Amino acid sequence: MRSADLIRLITLAAIWGASFLFMRIVAPVLGALWTAEVRVAIAGGAMLLFMAATRRAMYFGRNWKQYLILGTINSALPFALFAYAALTLPAGYSAIVNATSPLWGALIGAAVLGERLTARKIGGLFIGVAGVAFLVRLGPAQFTPQLLLAALACVGAAMCYGVAGAYSKKASVSIAPPLMATGSQLGAALVILPFLTLAPVRAEITPFILVIAAVLGLLCSAVAYFIYFRLIADLGPTKALTVTFLIPLFALVWGALFLHETVNLNTLIGCALVVLATWLVLFPGRAVSNNIAMR
């Protein structure tokens, strides 16, 4: 791996790790749906401007269904679920559960695409679930029904990424990744829009919240996606997915530094189990997993 690729990989992990920190700040003010809508709308708008500036046609007429479907399962639903979880869960918790996305991708790929579910992958799935259960039950946050619901929301978001990976492979092979990334953000914004009246803003919106929300959309979605697709082009999907291992570590560090979230031995054990499980699934011997888990 070239030094430039390594820098991009670490930068991407730091950015996506910070996204859980930013959601933890914004969601208590805007609520889950508004947090998700602001993020995808800002990201989609910025990415569309970039595509226009580089004269890349989006082909909305023929691709709108794929944009809406992938936008729903890869951005609208998971972003809303993670934002809901951010009302309760520490940022590190959400990032660790998010790291199970390739595990769900392997399971869904076996069910939908007929991919082989090896003993190594099955073992990884069980270890990943055990890691999440360990974290939720024995981590530093007090175990409550609300915490359990928030953790299940994160699991649901990770499963959405698994479904999105399978859909991308099966239905969207003819659409270039930058087009799909941009179109899916715009599609997600349209999907969430009708539901915003059901979710009023929870608190006063300050200039600080506006800045953090803008950073969440511009940096953690728009810029991050372009970095990610550059890594895929340079390294291939499997090596690019090694970012999954680093995201929880950055999220734990950012949460501890800026939100004073507690990181104890149980947190590290849960994180280690999830990372081990992800490694078992992403690098199953000679086979490779191509599931793409975005956040």
Residue 107 has pLDDT above 70, yes or no: yes
Cα 188 from Cα 203, distance rounded (Å)? 24
Chain segment 228-255, per-residue pLDDT in tens: 878 877 887 667 777 888 899 999 999 9
pLDDT band at 204 (very low <50, low <70, confident <90, very high): very high
Of the listed ranges 18-32, 36-50, 103-117, the least confidently predicted one is 103-117
**Are the C-beta atoms of 169 and 114 separated by less than 8 Å?**
no
Assess whether pLDDT exceeds 90 at residue 256. Answer: yes
Q: How confident is the model at residue 284 (pLDDT cuts 50, 70, 90)?
A: low
User: Looking at residues 215-236, what average pLDDT do you find?
Assistant: 87
Residue 8 and residue 227 in contact, taking contact as beta carbons nearer than 8 Å: yes
Q: Per residue, what are the HEC states of the chain?
A: CCHHHHHHHHHHHHHHHHHHHHHHHHHHHHCHHHHHHHHHHHHHHHHHHHHHHCCCCCCHHHHHHHHHHHHHHHHHHHHHHHHHHCCCCCHHHHHHHHCCHHHHHHHHHHHHCCCCCCHHHHHHHHHHHHHHHHHHHHCCCCCCHHHHHHHHHHHHHHHHHHHHHHHHHHHCCCCCHHHHHHHHHHHHHHHHHHHHHHCCCCCCCCHHHHHHHHHHHHHHHHHHHHHHHHHHHHHCHHHHCCHHHHHHHHHHHHHHHHCCCCCCHHHHHHHHHHHHHHHHHHCCCCCCCCCCCCC
pLDDT for 287: 43
pLDDT of residue 171: 63
Q: Which two tokens stand for residue 287?
A: 């086979």
Q: Return the higher-pLDDT residue of 159 and 245.
A: 159
Burial class, 210, CB count within 10 angstroms (exposed 0-12 / middle 13-18 / buried 19+): middle
Distance in angstroms (rounded) separating the CA atoms of residues 185 and 178: 11
**Contact present, 255 and 215 (Cβ < 8 Å):** no
pLDDT at 56 over 90: yes
Q: What is the mean pLDDT of residues 274-284?
A: 82
Average pLDDT over residues 174-183: 86
Between 83 and 238, whose confidence is greater? 83
The top-scoring range by mean pLDDT among 76-80, 230-234, 260-264 is 76-80
- Global pTM value: 0.87
For the chain, the average pLDDT equals 88
> Are 231 and 1 contacting, i.e. CB atoms less than 8 angstroms apart?
no
High-pLDDT (> 90) share of the chain, %: 58
